[in-house]
């Protein structure tokens, strides 16, 4: 019997990296409750340790799910469907989160929707609370720690990847440069704060692939250039002003590259109704300002979701699931196996049996 979307809410879980997230959404996309548990143990280790992250997800989920349900004044029996991030991401976290959501779905005889983490990011801007009038097709620039790509969002389930990361993603470059400057991890917010004290023209740094045809990204060379800039200055802590000038110059170089790549992407997808930025790095004000200028030059809206919906969250997973349900897709995905890589142009990943063949 075909699935018929009801008026009852959907519960979603996101666990692809180091944030455990849960959200409950009404069938029309209204956010009824949401919550995120950020893992702190990785900071002293200088990066996410997959095994530690997976265990932390397992510890956090029972309390977090109940907390979110309490905020929404609901019980599990009130939930009509469950969704979970099934890829791409750290496989341990994906297994924990999606298995938890599947277990709830099986226990309550409810459907499960396997959601692509990237699809969640590219559809976030269509949340009714943000931009109910946003129409397909639009261009999404995804900039995060693990992903940097331009995607033409043609319709629900139809995405054209115009370009992507060749080596380091923008967020990864931010973290590595922040570490060079002694700022710790995660480095993005700390580097942005330090950069506000510096001059962005103090040092000449490369703009990898700027002006090159297409809209691929490369930040490895920029990261290396910063390292070579710092090496002659010694191994001790840099003077505050020099560190600030390096941070500001690096941040400006990244902003220039992203603006150039967005320009090229819009030339490849001239039918775009808006320029959307998503992912954790989208919180950076300098990067947003550069992209906003690009959108303005093309006479299209620039859309940047609020910070909590740019970083990894379960609202975007729930909304992606609802978009697919409203598009008429059947949510019979309980056999779908989590996978660390899941190209956006593959509608669903193979199920567990298929992966074993």
Kindly state the tokens that stand for 267: 């030339």
The CATH code for residues 136-304 is 3.30.420.40
| pLDDT tier, 4 (very low <50, low <70, confident <90, very high otherwise) | low
Tens of pLDDT, residues 260-269: 999 999 999 9
**pLDDT for the residue 239:** 94
Q: What value does the mean pLDDT take over residues 33-50?
A: 75
Residue 353 pLDDT more than 50?
Answer: no
Residue 346 pLDDT more than 90?
Answer: no
Predicted model pTM: 0.92
Q: What value does the mean pLDDT take over residues 16-37?
A: 95
Q: Do 147 and 141 touch, CB atoms closer than 8 A?
A: no
| pLDDT tier, 44 (very low <50, low <70, confident <90, very high otherwise) | low
Binding residues: 117, 121, 142-146, 175, 188, 192, 284, 312
Q: What value does the mean pLDDT take over residues 330-349?
A: 85
Contacts of 57-60 with CB under 8 Å at 24 or more apart are: 57/15, 57/20, 57/92, 57/93, 57/96, 57/97, 58/96, 60/20
On the question of a common fold for 10-123+310-356 and 136-304, the answer reads: yes
**pLDDT for the residue 193:** 96
Q: What value does the mean pLDDT take over residues 23-50?
A: 83
Average pLDDT along the chain:
91
Tens of pLDDT, residues 215-246: 999 999 999 999 999 999 877 789 999 999 99
Domain boundaries, the chain: 10-123+310-356, 136-304
Q: Report CA-CA distances (Å) from 294 to 194, 229, 255, 274.
A: 25, 30, 11, 11
Q: Would you tell me which CATH number, out of the four given (1.10.600.10, 3.30.420.40, 3.40.50.1000, 3.30.450.80), belongs to the domain 10-123+310-356?
A: 3.30.420.40
**Between 130 and 68, residue with greater pLDDT:** 68
Tens of pLDDT, residues 93-116: 999 999 999 999 999 999 999 999
Binding residues for substrate: 142-146, 175, 188, 192, 284
- Indicate the length of the chain as a whole number: 357
Q: Report CA-CA distances (Å) from 28 to 5, 9, 188.
A: 10, 9, 34
Binding residues for Fe cation: 117, 121, 312
Question: From CA 111, how far away is CA 92, in angstroms rounded?
Answer: 23
**pLDDT for the residue 345:** 83
| pLDDT tier, 77 (very low <50, low <70, confident <90, very high otherwise) | very high
């Amino acid at each position: 019997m075909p699935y018929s979307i009801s008026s009852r809410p959907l519960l979603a879980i996101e666990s692809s990296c180091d944030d455990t997230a849960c959200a409950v959404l009404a069938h029309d996309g209204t956010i009824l409750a949401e919550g995120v548990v950020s893992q702190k143990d990785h900071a002293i280790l200088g990066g996410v340790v997959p095994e530690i992250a997976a265990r932390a997800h397992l510890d956090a989920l029972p309390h977090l799910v109940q907390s979110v349900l309490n905020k929404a004044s609901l019980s599990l029996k009130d939930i009509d469907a469950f969704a979970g991030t099934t890829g791409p991401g750290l496989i341990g976290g994906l297994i924990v989160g999606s298995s938890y959501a599947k277990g709830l779905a099986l226990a309550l005889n409810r459907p499960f929707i396997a959601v692509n983490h990237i699809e969640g990011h590219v559809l976030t801007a269509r949340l009714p609370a943000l931009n109910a009038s946003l129409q397909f097709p639009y261009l999404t620039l995804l900039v995060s720690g693990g992903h940097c790509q331009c995607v033409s969002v043609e319709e629900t389930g139809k995405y054209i990847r115009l370009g992507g990361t060749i080596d380091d993603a923008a967020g990864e470059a931010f973290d590595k440069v922040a570490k060079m400057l002694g700022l710790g991890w995660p480095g993005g917010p700390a580097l942005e704060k330090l950069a506000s004290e510096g001059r962005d023209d103090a040092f000449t740094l490369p703009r990898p692939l700027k002006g090159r045809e297409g809209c691929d990204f490369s930040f490895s060379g920029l990261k290396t250039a910063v390292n070579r800039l710092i090496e002659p200055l010694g191994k001790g802590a840099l003077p505050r002003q020099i560190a600030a000038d390096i941070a500001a110059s690096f941040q400006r170089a990244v902003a220039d590259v992203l603006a150039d790549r967005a320009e090229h992407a819009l030339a490849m997808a001239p039918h775009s109704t808006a320029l959307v930025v998503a992912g954790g790095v989208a919180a950076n004000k300098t990067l947003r300002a550069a992209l906003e200028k690009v959108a303005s030059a093309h006479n299209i809206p620039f859309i940047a979701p609020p910070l909590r919906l740019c970083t990894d969250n379960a609202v975007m997973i729930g909304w992606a699931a609802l978009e697919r349900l409203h598009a008429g897709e059947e949510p019979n995905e309980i056999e779908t196996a989590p996978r660390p890589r899941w190209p956006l142009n593959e509608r669903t990943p193979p199920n567990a049996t298929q992966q074993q063949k």
